[in-house]
Structure 1
Amino acid sequence: MERKEFLKKSLALAGIFTMFSQCKKEDEVTPGTVTDSTDTTTCTVTDNETEGPFPTKSPSTYVRKDITDGKTGLPLTVNVYIKNVNNNCAALENALVDIWHCDTAGNYSEYGGSGMQSTNYTSVHFLRGRQTTDANGLAAFTSIYPGWYSGRAPHIHVHIYNGSGTSLLVTQIAFPEDISSAVYKTTYYTAHGQADTSNASDNIFSDSLDNELATLSGDTTNGYTLTHTIYVKA
Protein backbone atom coordinates (compact mmCIF):
# COMPACT_ATOMS: atom_id res chain seq x y z
CA MET A 1 0.00 0.00 0.00
CA GLU A 2 1.33 3.37 -0.93
CA ARG A 3 2.14 5.78 1.90
CA LYS A 4 -0.45 8.36 0.67
CA GLU A 5 -3.25 5.74 0.59
CA PHE A 6 -2.25 4.41 4.02
CA LEU A 7 -2.39 7.89 5.59
CA LYS A 8 -5.77 8.61 4.00
CA LYS A 9 -7.30 5.45 5.49
CA SER A 10 -5.70 6.09 8.88
CA LEU A 11 -7.10 9.61 9.03
CA ALA A 12 -10.56 8.37 8.09
CA LEU A 13 -10.49 5.78 10.87
CA ALA A 14 -9.29 8.41 13.35
CA GLY A 15 -12.21 10.66 12.35
CA ILE A 16 -14.72 7.87 12.90
CA PHE A 17 -13.22 7.11 16.32
CA THR A 18 -13.37 10.79 17.31
CA MET A 19 -17.02 11.09 16.24
CA PHE A 20 -17.86 7.92 18.20
CA SER A 21 -16.13 9.24 21.31
CA GLN A 22 -17.90 12.62 21.13
CA CYS A 23 -21.31 11.00 20.67
CA LYS A 24 -20.65 8.68 23.57
CA LYS A 25 -19.77 11.60 25.86
CA GLU A 26 -22.88 13.51 24.85
CA ASP A 27 -25.19 10.51 25.28
CA GLU A 28 -23.79 9.26 28.59
CA VAL A 29 -25.50 10.33 31.82
CA THR A 30 -22.85 10.82 34.46
CA PRO A 31 -23.81 9.04 37.70
CA GLY A 32 -25.17 11.51 40.21
CA THR A 33 -26.04 14.19 37.67
CA VAL A 34 -29.41 15.84 38.17
CA THR A 35 -31.45 17.08 35.24
CA ASP A 36 -34.91 18.52 35.96
CA SER A 37 -36.97 21.68 35.58
CA THR A 38 -35.24 23.41 38.49
CA ASP A 39 -31.57 22.55 38.21
CA THR A 40 -28.82 20.85 36.21
CA THR A 41 -25.78 20.23 38.32
CA THR A 42 -23.52 17.62 39.85
CA CYS A 43 -25.26 15.84 42.70
CA THR A 44 -23.09 16.75 45.69
CA VAL A 45 -23.96 18.20 49.07
CA THR A 46 -24.34 21.97 49.04
CA ASP A 47 -21.69 23.88 50.98
CA ASN A 48 -22.27 24.17 54.70
CA GLU A 49 -22.12 27.76 55.97
CA THR A 50 -22.44 29.66 59.22
CA GLU A 51 -25.87 30.63 60.54
CA GLY A 52 -24.38 34.07 60.99
CA PRO A 53 -24.93 36.33 63.97
CA PHE A 54 -28.72 36.60 63.48
CA PRO A 55 -30.33 33.11 63.33
CA THR A 56 -34.02 32.68 64.08
CA LYS A 57 -34.37 32.14 67.82
CA SER A 58 -37.49 29.92 67.72
CA PRO A 59 -37.86 28.60 64.15
CA SER A 60 -40.80 26.28 64.83
CA THR A 61 -42.85 29.29 65.98
CA TYR A 62 -42.89 30.80 62.49
CA VAL A 63 -44.55 28.20 60.27
CA ARG A 64 -45.76 30.50 57.51
CA LYS A 65 -45.41 31.00 53.80
CA ASP A 66 -45.65 34.81 53.82
CA ILE A 67 -42.74 36.09 55.88
CA THR A 68 -42.95 39.78 54.99
CA ASP A 69 -44.68 40.63 58.29
CA GLY A 70 -45.40 44.18 57.14
CA LYS A 71 -41.98 44.92 55.66
CA THR A 72 -42.03 46.74 52.33
CA GLY A 73 -39.73 46.03 49.41
CA LEU A 74 -39.71 44.57 45.92
CA PRO A 75 -41.79 41.34 45.98
CA LEU A 76 -39.77 38.13 45.97
CA THR A 77 -41.12 34.58 45.70
CA VAL A 78 -38.59 32.13 47.14
CA ASN A 79 -38.75 28.55 45.80
CA VAL A 80 -36.26 26.26 47.53
CA TYR A 81 -36.00 22.64 46.38
CA ILE A 82 -34.39 20.09 48.70
CA LYS A 83 -32.83 16.95 47.22
CA ASN A 84 -31.35 13.93 48.97
CA VAL A 85 -27.85 12.90 47.91
CA ASN A 86 -28.34 9.57 49.73
CA ASN A 87 -31.30 8.74 47.47
CA ASN A 88 -29.89 9.49 44.01
CA CYS A 89 -30.76 13.15 44.50
CA ALA A 90 -34.50 12.48 44.60
CA ALA A 91 -36.76 15.17 46.03
CA LEU A 92 -36.82 15.16 49.83
CA GLU A 93 -40.39 15.35 51.07
CA ASN A 94 -41.33 16.54 54.60
CA ALA A 95 -38.05 18.31 55.24
CA LEU A 96 -38.26 21.44 57.38
CA VAL A 97 -36.83 24.54 55.72
CA ASP A 98 -36.17 27.73 57.68
CA ILE A 99 -35.13 30.91 55.92
CA TRP A 100 -34.27 34.38 57.17
CA HIS A 101 -32.79 37.54 55.70
CA CYS A 102 -32.40 41.25 56.31
CA ASP A 103 -34.75 44.06 55.30
CA THR A 104 -34.12 46.75 52.68
CA ALA A 105 -31.86 48.66 55.10
CA GLY A 106 -29.79 45.62 56.04
CA ASN A 107 -31.40 44.99 59.44
CA TYR A 108 -32.56 41.69 60.96
CA SER A 109 -35.54 41.11 63.19
CA GLU A 110 -35.06 39.62 66.69
CA TYR A 111 -31.79 41.52 67.15
CA GLY A 112 -30.46 45.04 67.52
CA GLY A 113 -29.47 47.74 69.94
CA SER A 114 -25.84 46.71 69.77
CA GLY A 115 -22.71 47.54 67.79
CA MET A 116 -23.51 45.03 65.04
CA GLN A 117 -26.99 46.46 64.46
CA SER A 118 -27.89 49.76 66.03
CA THR A 119 -31.60 49.61 65.16
CA ASN A 120 -33.41 47.61 67.85
CA TYR A 121 -35.70 44.97 66.36
CA THR A 122 -35.56 42.51 69.26
CA SER A 123 -39.34 42.38 69.69
CA VAL A 124 -40.34 41.73 66.04
CA HIS A 125 -39.91 38.74 63.73
CA PHE A 126 -40.10 39.93 60.12
CA LEU A 127 -38.51 38.07 57.20
CA ARG A 128 -38.26 34.75 58.99
CA GLY A 129 -40.28 31.61 58.36
CA ARG A 130 -40.53 27.85 58.09
CA GLN A 131 -42.15 25.55 55.55
CA THR A 132 -42.30 21.77 55.03
CA THR A 133 -41.28 20.46 51.62
CA ASP A 134 -43.90 18.86 49.38
CA ALA A 135 -43.58 15.75 47.21
CA ASN A 136 -41.36 17.71 44.81
CA GLY A 137 -39.03 18.76 47.63
CA LEU A 138 -40.31 22.33 47.37
CA ALA A 139 -40.62 24.84 50.18
CA ALA A 140 -42.05 28.17 48.96
CA PHE A 141 -42.09 31.57 50.63
CA THR A 142 -43.43 35.04 49.89
CA SER A 143 -40.96 37.74 50.88
CA ILE A 144 -39.17 40.87 49.65
CA TYR A 145 -35.83 41.19 47.91
CA PRO A 146 -33.27 41.41 50.72
CA GLY A 147 -31.08 44.43 51.24
CA TRP A 148 -27.45 44.22 52.28
CA TYR A 149 -25.16 45.21 55.09
CA SER A 150 -21.51 46.17 55.12
CA GLY A 151 -19.05 43.39 54.40
CA ARG A 152 -21.59 40.94 52.96
CA ALA A 153 -23.08 40.40 49.54
CA PRO A 154 -26.91 40.11 49.41
CA HIS A 155 -28.01 36.71 50.71
CA ILE A 156 -30.64 34.50 52.32
CA HIS A 157 -29.87 32.11 55.17
CA VAL A 158 -31.30 28.58 55.04
CA HIS A 159 -31.38 25.84 57.67
CA ILE A 160 -32.73 22.41 56.65
CA TYR A 161 -33.90 19.73 59.09
CA ASN A 162 -35.39 16.29 58.51
CA GLY A 163 -38.99 15.60 59.53
CA SER A 164 -37.86 14.67 63.03
CA GLY A 165 -36.11 17.98 63.53
CA THR A 166 -32.53 16.78 63.11
CA SER A 167 -30.32 19.36 61.42
CA LEU A 168 -29.18 18.36 57.92
CA LEU A 169 -27.50 21.49 56.60
CA VAL A 170 -27.04 25.20 57.18
CA THR A 171 -26.26 27.17 54.04
CA GLN A 172 -26.80 30.51 52.30
CA ILE A 173 -28.20 31.64 48.95
CA ALA A 174 -26.46 34.25 46.81
CA PHE A 175 -28.01 36.63 44.27
CA PRO A 176 -26.89 37.56 40.73
CA GLU A 177 -25.09 40.89 41.03
CA ASP A 178 -26.68 42.50 37.96
CA ILE A 179 -30.15 41.90 39.36
CA SER A 180 -29.22 43.19 42.82
CA SER A 181 -27.75 46.31 41.25
CA ALA A 182 -30.99 46.99 39.36
CA VAL A 183 -33.14 46.30 42.43
CA TYR A 184 -31.11 48.67 44.60
CA LYS A 185 -31.89 51.51 42.22
CA THR A 186 -35.62 51.20 42.91
CA THR A 187 -37.56 53.29 45.41
CA TYR A 188 -37.45 50.86 48.31
CA TYR A 189 -33.66 50.59 48.29
CA THR A 190 -32.19 53.87 47.05
CA ALA A 191 -31.72 55.29 50.55
CA HIS A 192 -29.34 52.44 51.37
CA GLY A 193 -27.56 52.48 48.01
CA GLN A 194 -25.58 49.75 46.26
CA ALA A 195 -24.03 46.77 48.02
CA ASP A 196 -20.42 47.33 49.07
CA THR A 197 -19.37 43.67 48.70
CA SER A 198 -19.39 41.51 45.57
CA ASN A 199 -20.03 37.77 45.54
CA ALA A 200 -16.38 37.18 44.63
CA SER A 201 -15.10 39.15 47.61
CA ASP A 202 -17.73 37.88 50.06
CA ASN A 203 -16.20 35.70 52.78
CA ILE A 204 -18.98 33.12 52.36
CA PHE A 205 -19.53 32.97 48.60
CA SER A 206 -15.98 33.51 47.35
CA ASP A 207 -15.24 29.76 47.39
CA SER A 208 -18.73 28.29 46.96
CA LEU A 209 -20.68 30.50 44.56
CA ASP A 210 -21.18 27.73 42.01
CA ASN A 211 -23.63 25.84 44.21
CA GLU A 212 -25.06 28.74 46.19
CA LEU A 213 -26.03 31.18 43.43
CA ALA A 214 -29.79 31.35 42.86
CA THR A 215 -31.63 31.64 39.55
CA LEU A 216 -33.97 34.62 39.35
CA SER A 217 -36.69 35.59 36.90
CA GLY A 218 -38.81 38.72 36.83
CA ASP A 219 -38.20 42.46 36.76
CA THR A 220 -37.98 45.56 38.91
CA THR A 221 -41.62 46.46 38.21
CA ASN A 222 -43.40 43.27 39.23
CA GLY A 223 -40.79 41.63 41.43
CA TYR A 224 -38.78 38.43 41.14
CA THR A 225 -39.04 34.68 41.61
CA LEU A 226 -36.01 32.96 43.07
CA THR A 227 -35.43 29.26 42.36
CA HIS A 228 -32.67 27.33 44.06
CA THR A 229 -31.89 23.66 44.73
CA ILE A 230 -30.07 22.56 47.88
CA TYR A 231 -28.55 19.09 48.24
CA VAL A 232 -28.41 17.34 51.61
CA LYS A 233 -27.67 13.90 53.04
CA ALA A 234 -30.83 12.58 54.66
Structure 2
Amino acid sequence: MDRKEFLKRGFTTLGALSVASFFTYCKSETIDPVSTEILSSTGSTNGSSASNCSLTNSETEGPYPIKNPSSLVINDITGDRKGIPMVVNISIRNKNTGCGAIENAFVDIWHCDADGNYSEYGSYTSVHWLRGRQTTDKDGLASFKTIFPGWYSGRAVHIHVHVYNSSGKSLLVTQIAFPAAICDTVYTTATDFYKKGKADTTNERDNVFGDGYSNELGTISGSIKEGFTLTHTIVVNA
Protein backbone atom coordinates (compact mmCIF):
# COMPACT_ATOMS: atom_id res chain seq x y z
CA MET A 1 0.00 0.00 0.00
CA ASP A 2 1.42 3.39 -0.86
CA ARG A 3 1.88 5.99 1.86
CA LYS A 4 -0.99 8.26 0.77
CA GLU A 5 -3.49 5.42 0.69
CA PHE A 6 -2.23 4.13 4.04
CA LEU A 7 -2.73 7.53 5.68
CA LYS A 8 -6.18 7.91 4.10
CA ARG A 9 -7.40 4.61 5.49
CA GLY A 10 -5.42 4.60 8.70
CA PHE A 11 -7.55 6.68 11.02
CA THR A 12 -10.80 5.03 9.91
CA THR A 13 -9.59 1.47 10.43
CA LEU A 14 -7.46 1.71 13.54
CA GLY A 15 -10.54 1.81 15.76
CA ALA A 16 -9.57 1.55 19.40
CA LEU A 17 -5.86 1.95 18.75
CA SER A 18 -4.49 5.12 20.27
CA VAL A 19 -2.90 7.86 18.21
CA ALA A 20 0.41 7.02 19.86
CA SER A 21 0.06 3.37 18.81
CA PHE A 22 -0.69 4.47 15.28
CA PHE A 23 2.53 6.43 14.97
CA THR A 24 4.47 3.56 16.53
CA TYR A 25 3.04 1.33 13.81
CA CYS A 26 4.04 3.79 11.10
CA LYS A 27 7.56 3.89 12.45
CA SER A 28 7.86 0.11 12.39
CA GLU A 29 6.95 0.11 8.70
CA THR A 30 9.71 2.58 7.76
CA ILE A 31 12.56 1.12 5.71
CA ASP A 32 16.07 1.80 6.98
CA PRO A 33 17.00 5.07 5.21
CA VAL A 34 20.69 4.15 5.13
CA SER A 35 20.16 0.96 3.14
CA THR A 36 18.03 2.69 0.48
CA GLU A 37 20.08 5.88 0.16
CA ILE A 38 21.46 6.39 -3.34
CA LEU A 39 25.23 6.62 -3.20
CA SER A 40 27.26 7.85 -6.15
CA SER A 41 30.79 8.89 -6.95
CA THR A 42 32.19 10.07 -10.28
CA GLY A 43 35.48 8.52 -11.28
CA SER A 44 37.75 8.92 -14.27
CA THR A 45 36.43 10.58 -17.42
CA ASN A 46 39.43 9.39 -19.43
CA GLY A 47 38.50 7.93 -22.79
CA SER A 48 35.32 9.95 -23.15
CA SER A 49 36.54 11.87 -26.21
CA ALA A 50 39.47 12.32 -28.56
CA SER A 51 40.66 15.26 -26.45
CA ASN A 52 40.44 13.22 -23.25
CA CYS A 53 42.24 10.09 -24.34
CA SER A 54 45.25 9.04 -22.28
CA LEU A 55 46.51 5.50 -21.96
CA THR A 56 45.18 3.83 -18.83
CA ASN A 57 47.88 2.97 -16.32
CA SER A 58 49.52 -0.42 -16.64
CA GLU A 59 49.59 -2.39 -13.38
CA THR A 60 50.67 -5.77 -12.07
CA GLU A 61 48.42 -8.78 -12.49
CA GLY A 62 49.09 -9.40 -8.82
CA PRO A 63 49.60 -12.80 -7.22
CA TYR A 64 46.16 -14.16 -8.25
CA PRO A 65 45.66 -13.91 -12.05
CA ILE A 66 43.12 -16.10 -13.85
CA LYS A 67 44.80 -19.41 -14.67
CA ASN A 68 42.70 -20.32 -17.72
CA PRO A 69 40.55 -17.33 -18.73
CA SER A 70 39.26 -18.84 -21.98
CA SER A 71 37.41 -21.43 -19.90
CA LEU A 72 35.57 -18.75 -17.90
CA VAL A 73 33.49 -17.02 -20.57
CA ILE A 74 30.62 -16.07 -18.28
CA ASN A 75 28.64 -12.91 -17.59
CA ASP A 76 27.63 -13.69 -14.01
CA ILE A 77 30.84 -14.41 -12.10
CA THR A 78 29.28 -14.37 -8.62
CA GLY A 79 29.29 -18.13 -8.06
CA ASP A 80 28.31 -18.90 -4.47
CA ARG A 81 29.83 -15.73 -3.01
CA LYS A 82 27.61 -13.52 -0.85
CA GLY A 83 27.72 -9.74 -0.93
CA ILE A 84 26.01 -6.66 -2.33
CA PRO A 85 25.22 -7.26 -6.03
CA MET A 86 27.19 -5.16 -8.48
CA VAL A 87 27.16 -4.78 -12.26
CA VAL A 88 30.54 -3.91 -13.79
CA ASN A 89 30.45 -2.16 -17.17
CA ILE A 90 33.86 -1.72 -18.79
CA SER A 91 34.36 0.13 -22.08
CA ILE A 92 37.54 -0.46 -24.08
CA ARG A 93 38.83 2.40 -26.24
CA ASN A 94 41.70 2.72 -28.71
CA LYS A 95 44.06 5.66 -28.23
CA ASN A 96 45.26 5.28 -31.83
CA THR A 97 41.79 6.10 -33.19
CA GLY A 98 40.98 9.04 -30.92
CA CYS A 99 39.39 6.75 -28.34
CA GLY A 100 37.13 4.90 -30.74
CA ALA A 101 35.44 1.78 -29.38
CA ILE A 102 37.17 -1.59 -29.80
CA GLU A 103 34.83 -4.39 -30.78
CA ASN A 104 35.57 -8.07 -30.06
CA ALA A 105 38.24 -7.40 -27.46
CA PHE A 106 38.53 -9.94 -24.64
CA VAL A 107 38.13 -8.47 -21.16
CA ASP A 108 39.08 -10.57 -18.13
CA ILE A 109 38.30 -9.43 -14.60
CA TRP A 110 38.93 -10.93 -11.18
CA HIS A 111 38.65 -9.75 -7.58
CA CYS A 112 38.40 -10.97 -4.00
CA ASP A 113 35.23 -11.93 -2.14
CA ALA A 114 33.69 -10.13 0.84
CA ASP A 115 36.26 -11.70 3.18
CA GLY A 116 39.26 -10.82 0.99
CA ASN A 117 39.79 -14.28 -0.54
CA TYR A 118 40.51 -15.20 -4.16
CA SER A 119 39.37 -18.33 -5.94
CA GLU A 120 41.90 -20.64 -7.69
CA TYR A 121 44.47 -20.07 -4.92
CA GLY A 122 45.11 -21.02 -1.30
CA SER A 123 42.09 -22.77 0.21
CA TYR A 124 40.03 -22.27 -2.97
CA THR A 125 42.12 -23.93 -5.69
CA SER A 126 39.24 -25.94 -7.17
CA VAL A 127 36.70 -23.10 -7.57
CA HIS A 128 36.54 -20.15 -9.95
CA TRP A 129 34.16 -17.55 -8.54
CA LEU A 130 34.60 -13.80 -9.10
CA ARG A 131 36.59 -14.42 -12.28
CA GLY A 132 35.44 -14.27 -15.87
CA ARG A 133 35.83 -13.18 -19.46
CA GLN A 134 33.53 -11.25 -21.77
CA THR A 135 33.90 -9.97 -25.34
CA THR A 136 33.23 -6.31 -26.12
CA ASP A 137 30.28 -5.36 -28.30
CA LYS A 138 30.25 -2.79 -31.11
CA ASP A 139 30.37 -0.01 -28.53
CA GLY A 140 33.44 -1.49 -26.86
CA LEU A 141 31.43 -2.58 -23.81
CA ALA A 142 31.89 -5.71 -21.70
CA SER A 143 29.57 -6.31 -18.73
CA PHE A 144 29.72 -8.58 -15.70
CA LYS A 145 27.45 -9.41 -12.77
CA THR A 146 29.33 -9.82 -9.51
CA ILE A 147 29.41 -8.53 -5.91
CA PHE A 148 30.97 -5.46 -4.37
CA PRO A 149 34.53 -6.62 -3.56
CA GLY A 150 35.88 -6.94 -0.05
CA TRP A 151 39.47 -6.10 0.87
CA TYR A 152 42.59 -7.66 2.30
CA SER A 153 45.33 -6.11 4.37
CA GLY A 154 47.88 -3.97 2.56
CA ARG A 155 45.78 -3.23 -0.52
CA ALA A 156 43.12 -0.69 -1.36
CA VAL A 157 39.85 -2.02 -2.78
CA HIS A 158 40.28 -2.98 -6.44
CA ILE A 159 39.33 -5.09 -9.45
CA HIS A 160 41.96 -6.57 -11.78
CA VAL A 161 41.47 -6.26 -15.55
CA HIS A 162 43.37 -7.82 -18.45
CA VAL A 163 42.48 -6.71 -22.00
CA TYR A 164 43.34 -8.67 -25.17
CA ASN A 165 42.58 -8.01 -28.82
CA SER A 166 40.42 -10.40 -30.84
CA SER A 167 43.50 -12.46 -31.75
CA GLY A 168 44.42 -12.97 -28.12
CA LYS A 169 47.31 -10.48 -28.00
CA SER A 170 47.66 -8.80 -24.61
CA LEU A 171 46.92 -5.06 -24.79
CA LEU A 172 46.92 -4.01 -21.15
CA VAL A 173 46.86 -5.27 -17.59
CA THR A 174 45.40 -2.72 -15.18
CA GLN A 175 43.27 -2.34 -12.06
CA ILE A 176 40.14 -0.39 -11.14
CA ALA A 177 40.20 1.69 -7.95
CA PHE A 178 37.15 2.36 -5.76
CA PRO A 179 36.03 5.62 -4.09
CA ALA A 180 36.77 5.49 -0.36
CA ALA A 181 33.50 7.04 0.83
CA ILE A 182 31.30 4.39 -0.80
CA CYS A 183 33.60 1.59 0.36
CA ASP A 184 33.49 2.87 3.93
CA THR A 185 29.70 3.03 3.86
CA VAL A 186 29.39 -0.49 2.47
CA TYR A 187 31.82 -2.02 4.94
CA THR A 188 30.26 -0.37 7.99
CA THR A 189 26.61 -0.87 6.98
CA ALA A 190 26.34 -4.21 5.17
CA THR A 191 28.00 -6.07 8.03
CA ASP A 192 26.13 -9.30 7.30
CA PHE A 193 28.51 -9.69 4.36
CA TYR A 194 31.49 -7.43 5.09
CA LYS A 195 32.72 -8.28 8.58
CA LYS A 196 36.16 -6.63 8.67
CA GLY A 197 35.18 -2.96 8.82
CA LYS A 198 36.84 -0.29 6.73
CA ALA A 199 39.78 -1.17 4.47
CA ASP A 200 43.14 -0.64 6.18
CA THR A 201 44.81 0.87 3.08
CA THR A 202 43.68 3.95 1.16
CA ASN A 203 44.18 4.52 -2.55
CA GLU A 204 46.80 7.14 -1.72
CA ARG A 205 48.84 4.73 0.43
CA ASP A 206 48.35 1.70 -1.81
CA ASN A 207 51.48 0.18 -3.41
CA VAL A 208 49.70 0.06 -6.80
CA PHE A 209 47.60 3.23 -6.84
CA GLY A 210 49.92 5.32 -4.69
CA ASP A 211 51.70 6.81 -7.72
CA GLY A 212 48.42 8.10 -9.15
CA TYR A 213 45.06 6.54 -9.97
CA SER A 214 43.10 9.33 -11.68
CA ASN A 215 42.69 7.17 -14.81
CA GLU A 216 41.79 4.08 -12.80
CA LEU A 217 39.01 5.29 -10.51
CA GLY A 218 35.64 3.71 -11.29
CA THR A 219 32.33 5.58 -11.31
CA ILE A 220 29.87 3.96 -8.90
CA SER A 221 26.18 4.50 -8.20
CA GLY A 222 23.45 2.56 -6.40
CA SER A 223 22.42 1.58 -2.90
CA ILE A 224 23.16 -1.07 -0.33
CA LYS A 225 19.59 -2.35 -0.64
CA GLU A 226 19.40 -2.54 -4.44
CA GLY A 227 23.06 -3.02 -5.38
CA PHE A 228 25.59 -0.97 -7.32
CA THR A 229 26.73 -0.32 -10.88
CA LEU A 230 30.38 0.41 -11.63
CA THR A 231 31.26 1.98 -14.99
CA HIS A 232 34.78 2.51 -16.23
CA THR A 233 36.59 3.22 -19.49
CA ILE A 234 39.99 1.72 -20.24
CA VAL A 235 42.16 3.17 -23.00
CA VAL A 236 44.68 0.91 -24.76
CA ASN A 237 46.99 1.01 -27.77
CA ALA A 238 45.52 -1.30 -30.39
Deviations 1:123-166 (A, max 9, x none): 10000000000011000000000000000000000000000000
After the TM superposition, which parts of structure 1 deviate over 2 Å for at least 4 consecutive aligned residues? 33-36, 187-190
Partner of 2:155: 152
What is the number of equivalent residue pairs in this alignment? 192
Unaligned stretches of 5+ in structure 1?
1-32, 113-119
Cα distance in 2 for residues equivalent to 1:53 and 1:207: 20
- Secondary structure of the 1:86 match is helix
> How far did 1:43 drift?
0.5
Maintained 8 Å contact 2:221/2:229: yes
Alpha-carbon spacing, 1:136–1:178, altered in 2? closer, same or farther (3 Å): same
- Secondary structure of the 1:209 match is coil
Cα distance in 1 for residues equivalent to 2:51 and 2:86: 24
Of structures 1 and 2, the one scoring higher in RCO (CA 8 A, sep 6+) is: 2
Partner of 1:93: 103
2:69 alignment partner, one of 59, 74, 80:
59
- 1:77 has 2:81 as partner: no
Partner of 1:196: 200
Deviations 1:37-86 (A, max 9, x none): xxx97211100000000000000000000000111100000000000001
Cα distance in 2 for residues equivalent to 1:167 and 1:46: 14
- Secondary structure of the 2:124 match is coil
- 1:220 has 2:224 as partner: yes
- Secondary structure of the 1:78 match is strand
Partner of 1:6: none
Deviations 1:157-199 (A, max 9, x none): 0000000000000000000000000111213444222100001
Name the larger-Rg structure: 1
Alpha-carbon RMSD across the aligned residues, in angstroms, is: 1.4
Cα distance in 2 for residues equivalent to 1:164 and 1:208: 31
- Secondary structure of the 1:182 match is helix
1:174 alignment partner, one of 173, 177, 185:
177
Q: What TM-score, normalized by structure 1, do the two folds share?
A: 0.79
Cα distance in 1 for residues equivalent to 2:184 and 2:148: 12
Which amino acid in 1 is paired with 2:92?
Answer: I
Alpha-carbon spacing, 1:164–1:64, altered in 2? closer, same or farther (3 Å): same
Alpha-carbon spacing, 1:135–1:188, altered in 2? closer, same or farther (3 Å): farther
Cα distance in 1 for residues equivalent to 2:194 and 2:60: 29
Partner of 2:57: 47
Partner of 1:103: 113
Which amino acid in 1 is paired with 2:95?
Answer: V
Maintained 8 Å contact 1:76/1:226: yes
> How far did 1:34 drift?
5.0
